[in-house]
Structure 1
Amino acid sequence: MNNLFSNVRGDLASGLVVFLVALPLCLGIALASGAPLFSGIIAGIIGGIVVGFFSNSNLSVSGPAAGLTAIILTAITDLGSFEIFLVAVILAGVIQVVLGFLQAGALSNYIPTSVIEGMLAAIGIIIILKQIPHAFGHDVDNEGDFFFIEKSGHNTFDTLIESINYIHLGALLIALLSLGILIVWEKVPVLKRLKLLPGALVVVIVSILANELFIQTGSNLAIISKSHLVNLPSFDEIQSGFSLPAVSAFTNVKVWTVAVTLAIVASIETLLCIEATDKLDPWKRFTNTNRELKAQGIGNIISGLLGGLPMTSVVVRSSANINSGGKTKLATIFHGILLLLCVLALPFLLNKIPLSALAAVLLMIGYKLAKPASFIHLFNNGMARFVPFIVTVLAVVFIDLLKGVAIGFVVSILFLLYENLKIAYHFNKEKYHKGDLIEIHLAQEVSFLNKAAIKKTLSEIPRKSKVIIDASLTNYIDYDVLEVIKDFRDVTVDTKDIDLTLIGFKDKYNIENSQDDRIEYISEAKNEDKNIINEINE
């Protein structure tokens, strides 16, 4: 907490932007989950203040997540009431705390960078696709609904095309004006230095004033319908919709099943978001993922006790924090405080904010996550990184976050196996002929995955060749690969009349001496051979 106040002006301004982004998302996710509206706000408040305090992530922002909406909706129906579901939220939090103590956060270290970058780009694309209808004033989808197939049975593209026929000119005008303000705020150096007056706040103020002007002048551009505006519940609605957990349901087996499901899914989403946030962090700081699981667990326990939705670390809010100049946990905590104060004290003012103005803010966030430069950069880095990246992008956009990341992970592993096959050894010749001297330098690690390639190579060596297999700098050779080399030595050398030299095998791998005069054993490679192998391993 020592550096909590090292960037006060920037963090307060960033916390304000995150608050403006989080507000409609908290409400939209609650609505899409079939839960009381205020339960989403509670989760946002707890995610900001409580998780922000206990986490050691400087930039991650937690709150209700779109990826949990389908699970929540199904669970509330199966369990029979929201009050029983809250017990599952509490138990899920306890399980997450236990996972933190079991060091389960280390699993995030095994997620390939290309998959994380693909996930970020995909989320950016989803934000853009989902917010364009809101910018047009076609607000049929709930904010926070990031699924390709919507509850109505339509898909994202159906709604996008349909929105063209339902354009509200006032909403579109405000969206374009808001985008213009945000772009100017990004490009003009003097405005960028006004840290206490972020572009998003200017957008909100201008959009409210513009719409009030439309209303007062009786213009057809006026946005009057509540469906096109932020729609916070009144204090009376909050009181009537406030829920507490049904303690008696702790012994219900179904509740425990839901709790385990929530804990696993929420933990995976959190770890993915933490990896993504650390990657976006301009200061390249690293988060203790085990502590993050504990913080998320504590947050979910308190959220469940107070009638809130389960939460995870969320990429949209975290990237908004980074793009708005956030640097410490103060931004996250401040956004939670703003949710608490403004929802209770200023609902009448917040309900005047057009959703099209907030759509403009989210469109800018989406663009920054899915910049064309990211695609070009990955493409230039080779197919081994680009293919898992683009597969992850497509899978996350057209399926969902977790399944998309899993598919990208599998593709990344396949490329890793393919690359591993290529770097296990090196020839001094691309093609070889009868009588050639053929040198095979093994890499530092040769696993069973390399067996097929090495076996194929040795089987294709022509008759009467001179072959050197150099393992002097190899730290590990799998038993199956050693067996292939022994078979080559004991059978192929004789049948093809090959002269074989084995370097570095005798002492380290206990390959017994052969009486065949065509086989020579050397303990160390020459200096020039070592240089070749060093180049391979680099």
Structure 2
Amino acid sequence: MFKYLKNDLPASVVVFFVALPLCLGIALASGAPLFSGLIAGIIGGIVVGALSGSQIGVSGPAAGLAAIVLTAIGALGGYENFLVAVVLGGVIQLVFGFLKAGIIGYYFPSSVIKGMLTGIGIIIIFKQIPHFFGYDANPEGDFAFSQMDGENTLSELGNIAGSISIGATLIGVIALAILILWSNVLSKKGKFFQLVQGPLVAVAVGIIYYVSTMGTDYAISAEHLVSVPVPDSVDSFIGQFAFPNFGAITNPAIWVTAFTIALVASLETLLCVEATDKLDPQKRVTPTNRELLAQGTGNILSGMIGGLPVTQVIVRSSANIQSGGKTKMSAIIHGFLLLISVILIPTLLNKIPLSVLAAILLIVGYKLAKPATFKAMWNAGWKQFVPFIVTVVGIFFIDLLWGIGLGLAVGIVVVLYKSYKNSHFLNKEDISNGSQRMKMTLAEEVTFFNKGAILKELDNLPENSYLELDVRKTRFLDNDIIEILEDFALKAKSRNINIKLISERGIVENPPSYIEFFKLRPKTA
């Protein structure tokens, strides 16, 4: 774990700066105390990071759960009651892990996973543009398209024009220039520029700018800065923690919320694991059942001390990968950085301009949603591009789970279509007497999905023709297909169509019963 510390330490700093505003913003969007988001970030980094089998995944509070949390807090009668659901949700995730439910993540098509990454990248860009220009009406980390104030992601861009902050925009542009220069030029100049990451320099410059411009026309006002809770004393710091009210555990609504949290958090985690593994330069494979166990443990601990639910999060994970993180030490160190900074330097953190952090996230979003990705998916063909673009559009205009669900549904339709087309091969040959000789070779597996295609071809056979039906390569033949062949045998007699069945057992002319013929073979065709 310490072998790649020279890579993991700088990466953890970048992840820390990405995670800090997201932890606060997601808590705000969830209607929960701001400190609850930081607790979830710390638990996600230290606890889940240590227990997880993922080397480059980073966990914390997820924007996808914000709407569920916001609704549940009000419906359950308070935040302490909601924390009971978080703890129970973690227990349910442990059960999922022991039941080996982690395999679910492997059943999502690659096109949908790539669409998820691209969609999240586009959302990050659109959501950070207002912060980049100093227009901070919407909370950081609120990924929903429609906002509670009646605005949406696109309409918010139109509101920027009359609300641009000169100071915030200026330091945002400077920070973006530093990041691009550091990444494309300076990082290739020496080890110092590889060890000290551009985001750290951008944040330091942002703090210096804020302090040096106070009282001038280019100053940055407080609403454009990070806002970490600052305790007055040890007692006030401890007072920020909340504890679950287990007296409400008999409330059925709490159990419903717990199952909802467990299902949504597990699904988001498994999808992020799949996506993160695809981004991993070393192509390591994360043990998904162990990941569910780690996430369940994290949610139990987070709920016990007042934190939001945690999942593995692709924004933090991709930032980790892009910054050169190699092992789980990066996630763990980022968790300790959150903990130390909240305890020791909250006042310093509150001097960081949000536009600087927006610049960092703009780079992360661009790397997730590069134009080259769209070109590659287009070149891969419509069967890859359609599920990909449906996922992107669904995530942007609805939310993460809806987008993934729509992409998966389209992917299933594509699979069914391919199955429909690939169930058989029909080769037509003309014979000198004007009749036709055709050969149909069935695929290795033929299921009821293929009924329509095969039935259509059989019905289109002309009268007085000759059909060779080759099933030598077929290893599974659904009973529905056998019944179609049985029915067609009767039609063939009236249409003077002769059939030659070719199988591993030999050749049979006009078999009297396909059902009896295939019953003689073992369960395979």
With the length of structure 2 as denominator, give the TM-score of the two structures: 0.93
Q: Map of 1:400-415 to 2, 5 A cutoff?
A: 400-415=399-414
Distance 1:78 1:343, change over 3 A: same
- Which residue is equivalent to 2:52? 55
- Which residue is equivalent to 1:535? none
RMSD: 2.2
Distance 1:299 1:358, change over 3 A: same
How far is the alpha carbon of 1:394 from its aligned partner? 0.4
> Is structure 2 residue 42 aligned with structure 1 residue 45?
yes
Q: Map of 1:369-388 to 2, 5 A cutoff?
A: 369-388=368-387
Q: 1:8 aligns with which of 5, 12, 17?
A: 5
Equivalent residue of 1:413, what SS? helix
Verify the 8 A CA contact 2:20 2:38 in the aligned structure 1. yes
Verify the 8 A CA contact 2:428 2:436 in the aligned structure 1. no
Distance 1:361 1:54, change over 3 A: same
- Which residue is equivalent to 1:30? 27
Distance 2:27 2:429 in 1: 61
Distance 2:55 2:23 in 1: 21
Given residue 406 of structure 2, which amino acid in structure 1 is its aligned partner?
I
- Which residue is equivalent to 2:446? 446
Distance 1:507 1:228 in 2: 80
Verify the 8 A CA contact 1:36 1:242 in the aligned structure 2. no
How far is the alpha carbon of 1:256 from its aligned partner? 1.5
How far is the alpha carbon of 1:511 from its aligned partner? 11
Tell me the alpha carbon deviations over residues 418-445 of structure 1, each in whole angstroms, 9 at most, x when there is no partner. 0111111112249999512211111111
Distance 2:138 2:509 in 1: 68
- Which residue is equivalent to 2:349? 350
Verify the 8 A CA contact 1:85 1:255 in the aligned structure 2. yes
- Which residue is equivalent to 1:93? 90
- Which residue is equivalent to 1:190? 188
> Is structure 2 residue 465 aligned with structure 1 residue 483?
no
Tell me the alpha carbon deviations over residues 4-37 of structure 1, each in whole angstroms, 9 at most, x when there is no partner. 1221111011111000100011111111111111
Tell me the alpha carbon deviations over residues 460-479 of structure 1, each in whole angstroms, 9 at most, x when there is no partner. 11122222111101111111
Given residue 31 of structure 1, which amino acid in structure 2 is its aligned partner?
L
Verify the 8 A CA contact 1:122 1:397 in the aligned structure 2. yes
Distance 2:76 2:455 in 1: 57
Q: What count of residue pairs does the alignment treat as equivalent? A: 510
- Which residue is equivalent to 2:101? 104
Equivalent residue of 1:244, what SS? coil
Distance 1:212 1:99 in 2: 50
Verify the 8 A CA contact 1:9 1:195 in the aligned structure 2. no
Given residue 342 of structure 1, which amino acid in structure 2 is its aligned partner?
S
- Which residue is equivalent to 2:151? 154
Distance 1:54 1:345, change over 3 A: same
Equivalent residue of 1:63, what SS? strand
Equivalent residue of 1:503, what SS? strand
Distance 1:489 1:52 in 2: 63
Distance 2:295 2:484 in 1: 50
Verify the 8 A CA contact 2:424 2:442 in the aligned structure 1. yes
Tell me the alpha carbon deviations over residues 447-472 of structure 1, each in whole angstroms, 9 at most, x when there is no partner. 11111110110111112222211110
Distance 1:454 1:63, change over 3 A: same
- Which residue is equivalent to 1:459? 459
Deviation >6 Å, runs of 4+: 430-433
Tell me the alpha carbon deviations over residues 372-414 of structure 1, each in whole angstroms, 9 at most, x when there is no partner. 1111111111111110110111011000111111111111101
How far is the alpha carbon of 1:505 from its aligned partner? 6.8
- Which residue is equivalent to 2:289? 290
Distance 1:238 1:163, change over 3 A: farther
- Which residue is equivalent to 1:359? 358
How far is the alpha carbon of 1:269 from its aligned partner? 1.0
How far is the alpha carbon of 1:416 from its aligned partner? 0.6
- Which residue is equivalent to 2:230? 234
How far is the alpha carbon of 1:507 from its aligned partner? 7.1
Verify the 8 A CA contact 1:61 1:332 in the aligned structure 2. yes
- Which residue is equivalent to 1:437? 437
Equivalent residue of 2:425, what SS? strand
Distance 1:224 1:56 in 2: 43
> Is structure 2 residue 125 aligned with structure 1 residue 128?
yes
Verify the 8 A CA contact 1:171 1:354 in the aligned structure 2. yes
Equivalent residue of 1:312, what SS? strand
> Is structure 2 residue 306 aligned with structure 1 residue 310?
no
- Which residue is equivalent to 2:172? 175
Tell me the alpha carbon deviations over residues 28-60 of structure 1, each in whole angstroms, 9 at most, x when there is no partner. 111111111111111100000000011001111
How far is the alpha carbon of 1:163 from its aligned partner? 1.2
- Which residue is equivalent to 1:534? none
> Is structure 2 residue 297 aligned with structure 1 residue 301?
no
How far is the alpha carbon of 1:241 from its aligned partner? 3.2
How far is the alpha carbon of 1:175 from its aligned partner? 1.4
Equivalent residue of 1:145, what SS? coil
Percent identical residues: 52
Verify the 8 A CA contact 1:185 1:191 in the aligned structure 2. no
Q: Which runs of 5+ in 2 are unaligned?
A: 521-525
Tell me the alpha carbon deviations over residues 164-204 of structure 1, each in whole angstroms, 9 at most, x when there is no partner. 22111111111111111111122125257533211111110
- Which residue is equivalent to 1:468? 468
Equivalent residue of 1:241, what SS? coil
With the length of structure 1 as denominator, give the TM-score of the two structures: 0.91
Q: Map of 1:181-220 to 2, 5 A cutoff?
A: 181-188=178-185, 189-191=187-189, 193=191, 194-215=193-214, 218-220=215-217
Verify the 8 A CA contact 2:129 2:157 in the aligned structure 1. yes
How far is the alpha carbon of 1:268 from its aligned partner? 1.0
Given residue 311 of structure 2, which amino acid in structure 1 is its aligned partner?
T
Given residue 229 of structure 1, which amino acid in structure 2 is its aligned partner?
L
Equivalent residue of 2:461, what SS? coil
Given residue 21 of structure 1, which amino acid in structure 2 is its aligned partner?
V
Given residue 488 of structure 1, which amino acid in structure 2 is its aligned partner?
F
Q: 2:134 aligns with which of 116, 130, 137?
A: 137
How far is the alpha carbon of 1:144 from its aligned partner? 0.7
